[in-house]
Amino acid sequence: MKSTPRGPLTRTSSRIAAVLVAASLLAVAGCSSSDDDGETSADGTQGAGGGDTSIDLVGFAVIQSAYDDLADAFAATDEGKGVTVAGSFGASGAQSRAVIAGQDADLVALSLTPDVQNIADEGLIAPDWASDEHQGIVSDSVVVLAVRPGNPKNIQGWDDLIQPGVGIVTADPGTSGSAKWNLLGAYSQALGDSNDTAAAEAYLGKFIDNVVSWNDSGRTATDAFVKGTGDVLISYENEAIAARASGVELDYVVPDTTFLIENPAAVTTTASQAAKDFLDYVRSDAGQEILIAHGFRSVSGVTPSADVEGANDPANPFPDVTIITVEDLGGWSTVNDELFDKENGLVTQLRG
């Protein structure tokens, strides 16, 4: 049941390139997110290159600051000269639907593989978009538990979340890819080595009973937590790292067993060569270093070379933990039917 972690997930000794994570969670600290209603935000635009070639990027909310830096770095390459990246960021599912409905997009970078696949199913992305060695994934992270400074509820792992009086903040799986990762983390760790589905269902029921705030996206969940709601935020590791790097006061716990978050990206069928080159850059070692600096785990084994500001241990930002993947649970088709179906899914039933 438990996966053998991929190389970059288990690194313990190397240090990564120093690119400071700055603005990602500043919006969380004070500004209202345009993602509040779960619909597309169109104001997250990053210029790069100042030239006459523009790439329309449609992304999920959490990756905005990383892609801003990726666009700037790409503009400094031969392939990126004269290229501008115009970004639109919001909840992953809403972004996917917007592209299907006609929003201009050369490159999509979303939270979940199904959100990209839904666009491909409409003929707007090539059928083989996930045929590369990383199955279309460009960044990894894991599910973590963000807590108040000093961890006053002494939350050390999943078992502590279902204790009486613990208020959980998370995103809503009806709108957010982040929420699915969070709930998969809660469910899968309770399966244990014996794949005990009854124990996992019982755990998830208690977990859901303790949720005090469902939110449209991972970003708005973080916003609610930072503003004082609940005791623990179920979040991406990169989101917690970025929050701390930008000055938000929170601690975070990486559970001994947790879930692998895999974020895909793909170009559309009408994308320019510049968009294809930009995606190649995101996948390159240089692009992966920028993602690492924003708290993401590399999909390609790029070796960190400097501290990651905001990590619990900046010199060892990605601790070695037991990783469970969506493939361990049977793949997206299985988990979407069994857990997230809007009528008969386990999560739907437990929420009542």
CA 293, CA 10: separation in Å to the nearest integer?
A: 17
Q: 196: burial class by Cβ within 10 Å (0-12, 13-18, 19+)?
A: middle
Mean pLDDT, rounded, for 78-106: 94
Residue scoring higher pLDDT (91 or 297): 297
For residue 177, what pLDDT is reported?
72
Mean pLDDT, rounded, for 123-138: 97
CB 286 within 8 A of CB 303: no
Mean pLDDT, rounded, for 278-293: 97
For residue 38, what pLDDT is reported?
34
For residue 90, what pLDDT is reported?
86
Q: pLDDT tens across 12-40, in order?
A: 222 223 232 333 333 333 332 333 333 33
Q: Using 50, 70 and 90 to split pLDDT, how confident is the model at 218?
A: confident
In the block, residue with structure tokens 């469970």:
324
Average confidence score pLDDT of the chain: 86
Q: Using 50, 70 and 90 to split pLDDT, how confident is the model at 178?
A: confident
For residue 11, what pLDDT is reported?
29
Q: 240: burial class by Cβ within 10 Å (0-12, 13-18, 19+)?
A: buried
Phi, psi of 310 (to 5 degrees): 100, -20
Q: pLDDT tens across 53-86, in order?
A: 899 999 998 899 999 999 999 999 999 999 999 9
For residue 25, what pLDDT is reported?
39
For residue 50, what pLDDT is reported?
53
For residue 93, what pLDDT is reported?
86
Mean pLDDT, rounded, for 228-240: 95
Q: pLDDT tens across 320-344, in order?
A: 999 999 999 999 999 999 999 989 9
For residue 266, what pLDDT is reported?
98
CB 168 within 8 A of CB 230: yes
For residue 6, what pLDDT is reported?
39
Mean pLDDT, rounded, for 239-262: 95
CB 210 within 8 A of CB 162: yes
Helices 197-209 + 177-191 axis angle, to 10: 130
For residue 43, what pLDDT is reported?
39
Mean pLDDT, rounded, for 215-222: 84
For residue 352, what pLDDT is reported?
83
